[in-house]
Chain A
């Protein structure tokens, strides 16, 4: 701890950020919280909204469709974020090796991530297109599948097909962060471990993991929040179908407040998304603290 000389008040340092955040989202966030406890309807005009306490939240727990959407969204988050973490670490370790064309590969890593979500979603929709899509063409021309099949139109595969598209675009972020951490690790550490005769797994546990864990956890916190809020990719790829198999929580927020005009109840859905995010973040923070302690 550096309480030595001239440490200014933390609020001086935090001030500018607080001003920016409050100016941009202060009003919307406070509004959303207030709306969640009212029966406000879109466009209904002033004076028509009433404070109804927890009624919106009570309703949510009788709404089997929303609960199913919450389950679906958590599934999407767990699967896609763990896949991103594993792939990200693996590719970062790979690109940290010496090989010809390494610079090119590192530059290439940014490409999927630089493709905007909406373009990525359109691209994968075309890849999965059941009659003319390239995936069916490649798989059947190489003999991996006998006949063309539907990917996004069948409940059993639609969610996983979207997850694949999402992971393909987003794992490079994790890979880049891990790569940066690996590169900042002093090379001597590895040398010492090798001399000790440690095997690869042991070396990873003892040397690599402590270096990459803190930034990795930050990346996972942010990716998980993004995943729990997911909207755009489903909006473009499936619009919630087939038979609602890909309707996520954000989709319900959107439908409830925009399409069905129940802004109050939509806001309560949104706050539930925040609560679930907090649970996830809580787990990560615990992991982070344990990591720091060890």
Chain B
């Protein structure tokens, strides 16, 4: 498709606007992370740092015992384990369930879909006490496995809905063709439906990881030390109390966003690959 010059100008203007609004707050986070505290209270405020101070990053990359770096690294591990662990479980159970939601026109199946969604509507603050009680009884407080269980409860309704929508878009004829070739339901699901809906499943996976990565309040109450504290809780610790170091919070915040961005990058590749296979078959 050939674009007219006017349209091209519009596209680049839009891109410029997109870049500025997306980057500006993050760049400011970057500026704060390398600024001296006193420079940040200047009037008028200088938008370009007068001195570059890398001490916050240095502190986050010092790894001896009891250091911030160690706390940060352990939190990174806990966040990755809990969010990826919960995502794997949620996806594993949501793929067959999503297929059932998409293919069975059965009132009871539809009811299950809405009941699952209703559990997701309950405010987390209301579930915290019973969940605390449950984890305490199971001995899973301050334990990554405990967080995985809790996160599964948040992620599963999400992934089930998403994957159902992705499967809705898969043409039935493809599955029928496979079925005629004698493939079982699970073989069809694995060989035909999943590859076709790969983009949707990848989106669901990304969504799930970020949702768990984002959690703050559950982890705040259910963890107590480096064995299970996640990144968001660790950052809140940096920001807590009466000597808030916003430079440190900014540096840690930026670093926290990196792993999901990398995961998104990898998933996007599979997303694009999924799309091409999809369009070839479509």
Contact surface of A with B, Cβ cutoff 8 Å: 1-2, 4-8, 10, 12-14, 16-21, 23-25, 27-29, 31-32, 42, 90-91, 94-95, 97-99, 101, 105-119, 122-124, 126-127, 131-132, 134, 137-138, 140-141, 168, 173, 176-177, 180, 183-184, 186, 190-191, 194, 214-215, 218, 221-222, 225, 228-229, 231-232, 235, 249-250, 253-254, 257-258, 263, 266-267, 269-271, 273-274, 277-278, 281
* Inter-chain contact A24/B22, CB cutoff 8 Å: no
Q: CA A278 – CA B119 in complex, angstroms?
A: 11
Task: Name which residue of chain B comes closest to A177, CB basis.
Answer: B203
Residue in contact with A32 in the complex, picked from B122, B184, B213, CB distance below 8 Å: B122
Task: List, in ascending order, chain A residues with CB within 8 A of B94's CB.
Answer: 17
Task: List, in ascending order, chain B residues with CB within 8 A of A115's CB.
Answer: 26, 253, 256-257
* Inter-chain contact A21/B127, CB cutoff 8 Å: no
Q: Is B76 close to A, CB under 8 A?
A: no
Interface size class of B (residues with CB under 8 A): 35 or more
Q: CA A274 – CA B28 in complex, angstroms?
A: 38
Q: Is B49 close to A, CB under 8 A?
A: no
Residue in contact with B89 in the complex, picked from A20, A191, A278, CB distance below 8 Å: A20
Task: List, in ascending order, chain B residues with CB within 8 A of A249's CB.
Answer: 123
Q: CA A5 – CA B94 in complex, angstroms?
A: 23
Q: CA A10 – CA B106 in complex, angstroms?
A: 9
Task: List, in ascending order, chain B residues with CB within 8 A of A117's CB.
Answer: 214, 216, 232
Contact surface of B with A, Cβ cutoff 8 Å: 1, 3, 8, 11-12, 14-15, 18-19, 21-23, 25-26, 28-29, 32, 40-45, 47, 89-90, 92-94, 96-97, 99-100, 103-106, 108-109, 112, 114, 116-131, 134, 149-150, 152-153, 156-158, 160-162, 165-166, 168-169, 172, 175-176, 179, 184-185, 199-200, 203, 206-207, 210, 213-214, 216-217, 231-232, 235-236, 239, 246, 249-250, 252-253, 256-257, 260-261, 264-265, 268, 271-272, 275, 278-279, 282
* Inter-chain contact A231/B123, CB cutoff 8 Å: yes
What's the minimum C-beta distance from B112 to chain A, rounded to whole angstroms?
6
* Inter-chain contact B123/A229, CB cutoff 8 Å: yes
What's the minimum C-beta distance from A37 to chain B, rounded to whole angstroms?
14
Residue in contact with A122 in the complex, picked from B169, B184, B249, B275, CB distance below 8 Å: B249
Given known contacts A116-B214, A119-B253, A122-B253, is B129 in contact with A263 (CB within 8 Å)? yes
Residue in contact with B207 in the complex, picked from A29, A31, A173, A250, CB distance below 8 Å: A173
Task: List, in ascending order, chain B residues with CB within 8 A of A231's CB.
Answer: 123-125, 217
